[in-house]
Amino acid sequence: MKKIYQRFLILGLVSAIGFMSSCEKDAFAPEPYVAPCDTCGVDTVFYSTDIQPFFDASCVGCHPSSWAPDLTPGLSYDALINGGYIDTANAISSKLYVKIAPGGSMESYSTTANTKMTLEWINQGALNN
């Protein structure tokens, strides 16, 4: 009787091990981290091809070298960085973003997409890229 019990126990263990090893576990790659923001679909925002064209179309008419910040090509980046308009540690408190965000004094000169893009650029470190 003891041998029969041992055989069932061994057979049960072997079956359990075989069953567990035959199971396939789908491996999923972890989702990449995406910083919380509303810029759906925007990867890297480039100053030269995204931000400056926005300034050229909407801001340069009133912000040439005589009215701070100077947003003309070639001078705008330094004017923003050195003029204290960008806060990469707290992007939503950046003067530039506050001006063009809803309720800001320059809101009417920025589209929602340009405002979000500008915030994302600041969140990405406000690079001169």
Instruction: Let me know if 3 is exposed, middle or buried by CB neighbors in 10 A (0-12, 13-18, 19+).
Output: exposed
- The model's pLDDT over 14-36, given as tens digits with 9 standing for 90+, comes to 565 555 555 554 444 554 444 44
Q: Which two tokens stand for residue 63?
A: 């912000």
pLDDT attached to residue 32: 47
The rounded distance, in Å, linking the Cα atoms of 21 and 27 is 15
pLDDT attached to residue 43: 83
Residue 41 pLDDT level (bands cut at 50, 70, 90)? low
pLDDT attached to residue 6: 58
